[in-house]
Structure 1
Amino acid sequence: MKLVTFEAGGKASYGSLAGDRIIDLGASLGPRYPDIRAVLEAGALPELARLASATAATHSLADVKLLPVITNPRKIFCVGLNYKTHVIETKRSDSAYPAIFTRFADTLVAHDAPLFKPNISNRFDFEGELAVVIGKGGRNITQANALDHIAGYACFNDGSVRDWQRHTHQWTPGKNFPGTGAFGPCLTTPDEVPDFGAQTITTRLNGEVVQHASLSDLIFTLPVIIEYLSAFTPLMPGDVVATGTPGGVGDKREPPLYMKDGDVVEVEITGIGLLRNVVKNEV
């Protein structure tokens, strides 16, 4: 399934994406599961799949406003320096462990929503990434069992305010301006992506490819990341893990290439989705 969270007629719901149509599953399941996080908490994805297969589409994708796939994650983890091409361009050494930082839920925006460039900086950079959504929570999850804890995948743009990211050794300020993290367009369940390592991630800025890599190039694989995270904190249904960006970021180009008002940025992952946003100055 490809699940979306959306707003129609001023009311938020969720459903299954079928081409350019949406099967509104929240219309009938909403009283029990008000959002996708609640669906995951209840282990109700199979119930959603059965209902989606027996229900006609109720909305055109063009007629709804998409929301971030998970609107209310408890935790958002981001992995830094997880492609060798990005490690090289940052001139950093290899690490034995994943570099982890966090994002806040109020930084998230949806597909086709504005991505806001803070007025305080002109160094607003793109970072196309694969996001993983946790379906089954746990602590001390082993690598052997880690994939069983994944509900699905989405595209992510970890918009980074580079000067604020480097005020100190802690990256948190540059990664948490409101409206700088794009997340969507849909949650694609693992059965839709049988050959995960064969998929590619591409970031385009105004139609020009600026990043491209294979998901098989991840230095720390999804099982390694999940094992590491769950060793120090419980993972919960609906938690989001952005798994890192390939080389080609604007900050490391000569001359640097930063996002500005009016730019169109796309993150596309084969088999998973295409996330598009227009950059707007913060108001």
Structure 2
Amino acid sequence: MRLVTFAGSDGNPRPGALLNNTAVDLSSRFRSIHSLVLGGEEAIRTAEDLAQSASSRFSLDEVRLLAPIPDPPRIFCIGLNYRDHAVESRMEVPKVPTVFLKLPTALVGHGEAIRLPSISSQPDYEVEFACVIGRDGHRIARENWLDYVFGYTILNDVSARDVQLATSQWVLGKSFPTFAPLGPAIVTKDEIPDPHALDIRLSIDGELLQHSNTQELIFKLPDLIAYLSSIVPLLPGDIISTGTPAGVGLGRTPQRWLKPGETVTCEVAGLGQLVNPVVAGE
């Protein structure tokens, strides 16, 4: 199942499902996608039945897709989690996961603009495969990781490199408004048999700049879920974004930064395409 949050002509966000090129309104049973996640497997079955029978359907041309879960408790991001990206960043390959947070206020959806802040001259792109946690968990055993996954999505970890690397703390340089495009949907875990065998790529205006496969992750989801939950309890709706492969602007010669007027397309096999235009901000 492919779950979204969308806004219709009234501008109000609604939980929905993508079905046959339409957005099916699920708001008669669910307040939000977050509330659906909290409901677990039973809520997914209810949503599937409702998606098949609901009369409230919208053409995708009639709606605006928002971040599929606009209110996650936390966005955990993993740095340097592809060996080739660590090398291009001139940083040591990590022996334990490099974890930082991205603030939920940075979230935008498919089709929404990435706004480049005037105080940064080095805005960068990072396609990432992300998972959404489905239930509470503390000290989760590595072999039980999948029991705690709700589904998967795509995140573009947009980064102001000059702000990010001015200190050892990365959060602010990663959290400008619009710096976390997410979507287009959350794909429930039953639709992705092996999340560690997915092609991942990013292009700008048709030029392929990043291309790898999630099998190349240094720390895969079993490692990340076990590690994070050994320190902090995971919560339903938490996002874990697993890191980006080589090809980012920082690692290129010459370095290549995002520019107004460009369009960024992130793609992960089975999850669709996350497309965002780039515009000048304030």
Asked if residue 158 in structure 1 is aligned to residue 153 in structure 2, the reply is no
Would you say the 8 A contact 2:89–2:250 is kept in 1? no
Q: Distance in 1 between matches of 2:14 and 2:206?
A: 32
Over aligned residue pairs, what C-alpha RMSD do you find?
A: 1.2
1:38 maps to what in 2?
35
Structure 1: 4+ residue segments shifted above 4 A: none
Shift of 1:131: 1.3
* Secondary structure in structure 1 of the residue aligned to 2:230: helix
Q: Distance in 2 between matches of 1:232 and 1:245?
A: 23
Q: Distance in 2 between matches of 1:159 and 1:11?
A: 26
Q: Distance in 2 between matches of 1:56 and 1:155?
A: 29
- The code of the aligned residue for 2:214 comes to L
Identity of aligned residues (%): 40
Shift of 1:210: 0.3
1:25 maps to what in 2?
26
Deviations 1:230-269 (A, max 9, x none): 1111111111111100001001111111001111001001
Q: Distance in 2 between matches of 1:172 and 1:76?
A: 11
1:262 maps to what in 2?
261
Asked if residue 4 in structure 1 is aligned to residue 1 in structure 2, the reply is no
Q: Distance in 2 between matches of 1:173 and 1:15?
A: 31
Q: Distance in 2 between matches of 1:198 and 1:232?
A: 28
Asked if residue 186 in structure 1 is aligned to residue 151 in structure 2, the reply is no
Deviations 1:107-156 (A, max 9, x none): 11110000111111120000000111111121111111111111111111
Shift of 1:45: 1.8
Q: Distance in 1 between matches of 2:196 and 2:170?
A: 29
Q: Distance in 2 between matches of 1:46 and 1:140?
A: 28
Shift of 1:95: 2.0
1:170 maps to what in 2?
169
- The code of the aligned residue for 1:52 comes to A
Q: Distance in 1 between matches of 2:197 and 2:163?
A: 35
* Secondary structure in structure 2 of the residue aligned to 1:235: coil
Shift of 1:52: 1.9
Shift of 1:42: 2.3
Would you say the 8 A contact 1:160–1:174 is kept in 2? yes
Shift of 1:218: 0.7
Would you say the 8 A contact 1:77–1:100 is kept in 2? yes
Matched ranges for 1:95-174 at <5 A = 95-174=94-173
Shift of 1:56: 4.8
1:240 maps to what in 2?
239
- The code of the aligned residue for 2:13 comes to A
TM-score using structure 2 length = 0.96
Q: Distance in 1 between matches of 2:142 and 2:190?
A: 19
Q: Distance in 1 between matches of 2:196 and 2:75?
A: 23
Q: Distance in 2 between matches of 1:95 and 1:155?
A: 23
Would you say the 8 A contact 1:265–1:277 is kept in 2? yes
Q: Distance in 1 between matches of 2:195 and 2:35?
A: 26
Would you say the 8 A contact 1:122–1:260 is kept in 2? no
TM-score using structure 1 length = 0.95
2:15 maps to what in 1?
14
Would you say the 8 A contact 1:21–1:57 is kept in 2? no
